[in-house]
Amino acid sequence: MRYQERQINKKRPASPLSWMKAAVLTALFILFPAFSAFPSDEPPLTLSTAVREALENNPLLKAGRMRVRAKEAAAASSGYLEDPSFKIELEDIPKDEPLNISPDNAMLTRYTLSQGFSFPGKLSLKERIALKESLKSASELKVMEIEVITGVKEAYYGYSFLTESIRITGEIKEILSFMSRVAETRYGTGQASQQDVIKVQLETTLLTNELITLEAERDVSIARLKSLMAGPQDSRLPRPEAALKDRFPFDPDEVVRKALAEGPEIRAMELELQAADLTVDLMQRDYYPDFMVGVAPVERDGRFESYDLMFQMNIPLWRGKYSGRVSSASAEAEAMRAMLSSEKNRKTFEVKEAAIKAEAADRVRTLYETSLIPQAELAFESASRNYQAGRIDLLTLLDSERALKRARIEGLSSVFDYYKRLSDLERAAGVLLFTDAGGAGGNTASGAAFAAPAAKRGMR
């Protein structure tokens, strides 16, 4: 405080009533947050809105959808026969007119139309293999969608956590500003040393430094969220929704079952195995011949007086060549079967691990909400009253303030860590288990996610 203000405080010593008023104000700062970096009338950005826009606009997902369409088109075209062929043969063209190439200048003209046919079953096997590849591509798209959704959730949780951390740190800074005025008042009345005033001002400066760091981290989370949503980086995101409070109980064994039964990664490998088994069947059909049939009307002297019929087949004489192909396809199928079994084991472990971490995060969150934060708030309120009464020194009060700030920030972190663990569980399972977590899939109304850049207002 400036020198003139100190002189005024020296002339007006604080009364016991003012200490009581100060204690009440301190409690109000703790119990009724007021620090905010966003306009209060601005509609919040919900998680469901962020997820929806990411699914609609993310270029990686757009590319995946195009690949699925390409595979579907390829599968639809694989069940057709090869194109028929048409051939014209001119026989006995006179030597004295070698360049007069036409049916009228030939003694005999044969028009041949032929069509090739695969051995029965080959064409349908090719079509089924292509269909499996198409379905596998669709499962891989689902894997990408899960990855984008969980990525959006984690970025949104980080954005929300840092926004709340900035708010809490701002509240603590306001409390310290109030404590600074109390210390200056006590210094003005000779009840405290100037060192107490300097300590509080130093603590306030350190919190200002923390706010700068938190705001930078928040901007990084915003940039990541915009990238996943495919939004322009110079747009401004609305504030996130209020702090998340819901809990989502789950059965780890049921999550494992859903992961193995519905997970797109497992499904993609199962489809690849089915395609490999069908390829073995297709290679075994190579032991049987393919066919070609044709008809050839014959023109003599401008009249069609006869026609030829043709039947052609290949002879799969070199059996060793086809046996090698069957052995190769069989080995590939067995390798894929072993890989599928390994993937199921790995998936079971990953889901179990994620479930254990999510349950542990829930217990830590409960501990902060029911014990650590209330105790820290009571300790700070008591320390504030005792300091104003002169029963403790400023260092003890500052230690209580640091403990309160740490408890509230870590308690908030435990909530968002719990939601991140749920997101990790969904990523591990490959299934959206908590579609209403934090508003995703809910009915909360909100406006557009991106707004035009606003000068010096809200978030960048």
The residue-averaged pLDDT of 100-127 equals 86
pLDDT for 205 beyond 80? yes
pLDDT reading at 90 higher than 90? no
pLDDT band at 137 (very low <50, low <70, confident <90, very high): very high
Q: Determine the residue type at 432.
A: L
Domain count, the chain: 1
Burial class (CB in 10 A: 0-12, 13-18, 19+), 4: exposed
Domain membership flag for residue 116: no
Nearest by Cα to 263 from 343, 332, 154, 334:
343
Residue that wins the pLDDT comparison between 272 and 434: 272
Please name the amino acid found at residue 360. A
Average pLDDT of span 392-411: 83
Q: Enumerate helices (H) and strands (E) in the chain, giving the number of each.
A: 11, 4
Q: Considering the chain, what is the average pLDDT of its residues?
A: 81
Q: What is the pLDDT of residue 452?
A: 32
d(CA 287, CA 301): 45
Q: According to the model, what pLDDT value does residue 299 have?
A: 86
- Condensed to tens digits (0 to 9), the pLDDT of residues 316-357 reads 888 888 899 999 999 999 999 999 999 999 999 999 999 999
Q: How far apart are CA 364 and CA 375, in angstroms?
A: 15
| CB-based contact 315:289 (threshold 8 Å) | yes
Q: Which pLDDT band holds residue 247 (cuts at 50, 70, 90)? A: confident
Q: Which helix (H) or strand (E) holds 291?
A: strand 291-300
The enclosing H or E element of 435 equals none
Q: Higher pLDDT residue, 242 or 151?
A: 151
Task: Look at residue 313 and tell me if it is in a domain.
Answer: no
- pLDDT reported for residue 292: 94
Q: How confident is the model at residue 443 (pLDDT cuts 50, 70, 90)?
A: very low
Residue 27: pLDDT band (50, 70, 90) is very low
pTM: 0.75
Query: Rounded CA gap, 394 and 380, in Å?
Result: 12
Q: Which residues contact 119 (CB under 8 A, 6 or more apart)?
A: 285, 288, 289, 290, 291
What local confidence, expressed as pLDDT, does residue 437 receive? 52
- Which has the higher per-residue pLDDT, 184 or 445? 184
- Backbone torsions φ then ψ of 364, nearest 5 degrees: -65, -40
Higher local confidence (pLDDT), 147 or 107:
147
294 and 112 Cβ atoms separated by less than 8 Å: yes
Mean pLDDT of 100-112: 79
| Per-residue confidence band for 460, with pLDDT thresholds at 50, 70 and 90 | very low
- Hey, what's the torsion of the CAs at 420, 424, 430, 432, to 10 degrees? -20
**Domain contains 458:** no
Structural domain includes residue 26: yes
pLDDT of residue 258: 93
DSSP letter string over 33-64? Answer: ----SS-TTSPPBPHHHHHHHHHHH-HHHHHH
Q: Is 115 part of any domain?
A: no
pLDDT in tens, 50-89: 999 999 999 999 999 999 999 999 888 888 888 999 998 8
Q: Between residues 118 and 179, which one has the greater pLDDT?
A: 118
- Is pLDDT at 281 greater than 70 in this prediction? yes
Is 158 within a domain?
yes
Check residue 20 and give its pLDDT: 38
d(CA 390, CA 287): 100
Residue 46: phi and psi, rounded to 5, are: -90, 155
CATH number of the CATH domain containing 196: 1.20.1600.10
Q: How many CA atoms lie within 13 A of 431 on its CB side?
A: 16
Between residues 67 and 31, which one has the greater pLDDT? 67
Helices 264-285 and 252-262 cross at an angle (nearest 10°) of: 30
Q: Which amino acid is at 294?
A: G
Mean pLDDT score, 213-234: 89
Share of residues in the chain with pLDDT > 90 (%):
46
In this structure, what token pair is assigned to residue 201? 């001002």
- Written as six digits, the tokens of 258 are 């859903």
Q: What is the pLDDT of residue 243?
A: 65
* Domain membership flag for residue 306: no
Tokens at residue 422, please? 């749920």
Q: How far apart are CA 236 and CA 189, in angstroms?
A: 49
Contacts 24+ apart (CB under 8 A), 311-315: 312/114, 313/289, 314/289, 314/290, 315/289
| pLDDT confidence band for 436 (50 / 70 / 90) | low
Would residue 230 be called left, alpha or beta, if left means φ above 0 and alpha means ψ between -120 and 50 degrees? left
What confidence score (pLDDT) does residue 287 get? 92
* pLDDT tens figures, 297-319: 998 877 888 889 999 999 888 88
Q: Are 246 and 437 contacting, i.e. CB atoms less than 8 angstroms apart?
A: yes
Range with the largest mean pLDDT of 33-37, 192-196, 425-429: 425-429
Q: Is residue 11 part of a domain?
A: yes
Q: Look up the domain containing 199 and give its range.
A: 3-80+124-288+320-439
| Amino acid, res. 2 | R
Residues 155, 47 contacting (CB under 8 angstroms): no
Residues 368-396 have pLDDT tens digits of: 999 999 999 999 899 888 877 778 877 78
Average pLDDT of the residues in 229-258: 86
pLDDT at 4 over 60: no
Please state the rounded mean pLDDT for residues 285-290: 92
